[in-house]
Amino acid sequence: MNNLIKFPKQKPQSLITATPNGLHINGRMVSYTEAIEQLDRGDYDSAPQAGRDLIWQVREGVKKRYFKPTDSHTLILYRWAVADMFYTEQENENGTHECDNGDVGAIYIGEHGGMAIYRLTERLAIANNIEGALIEKYGADQGTRNAISFYISMIDAGTGSLSGVGSELLTSLHDGFIQNLNANGLPTAPAAH
């Protein structure tokens, strides 16, 4: 299985460059692993084009044999890409909402209502609902590989956007969240001891 993320052939303009020693990011050398960890923890959530550029350059590093990602690295890259594609799709279709604390989220509008979504919560939701189920069923190693394959099926390589399967699954997931909130309300906050 070829696990390189496929995006349109057009190479983005970037301040991130793949090198044999890591990624050159805005004048700093960062290991491929550290760059992927930065992406995973949300360092690029407020600069999504830079996150996309980072994924592109990791891909270039893999193609040039500068870096061999683990399945865990590949999973993180695909998770980020899928969550970003869904967020961007919703932002383009429905706009954004600014919360009282200044956070800005895209608006999801579905069959049962709407909600604000954020890149981090999208990654957490798909990790929990997709990866969690596959790892529980198939074990850590095979479940991770299955999740990568599933994420690949969620991306339309020709357009660099979600495939029909990806859009349908994430729409169903969010409609389920909203339906549950409508039926049961917000969960009670856990007690602090």
- Number of folded domains that form the chain: 1
pTM of the model: 0.88
Evaluate whether residue 88 is within a structural domain: yes
Evaluate whether residue 8 is within a structural domain: no
Evaluate whether residue 10 is within a structural domain: no
Evaluate whether residue 9 is within a structural domain: no
Evaluate whether residue 2 is within a structural domain: no
What are 101-112's pLDDT values in tens digits?
888 899 999 999
pLDDT at 185 over 70: yes
What are 27-83's pLDDT values in tens digits?
899 999 999 999 999 999 999 999 999 999 999 999 999 999 999 999 999 999 999
Evaluate whether residue 94 is within a structural domain: yes
Q: Which domain holds residue 91?
A: 16-182
- What pairs with residue 156 in β-bridges? 161
Closest CA to 37 of 83, 88, 73, 82: 73
Evaluate whether residue 91 is within a structural domain: yes
Q: Is the dihedral of CA 149, 45, 160, 17 positive or negative?
A: negative
Count how many residues are written for the chain. 193
Evaluate whether residue 75 is within a structural domain: yes
SS3 161: strand
Tokens of 23: 């990624």
CA–CA separation, 109 vs 171, rounded Å? 9
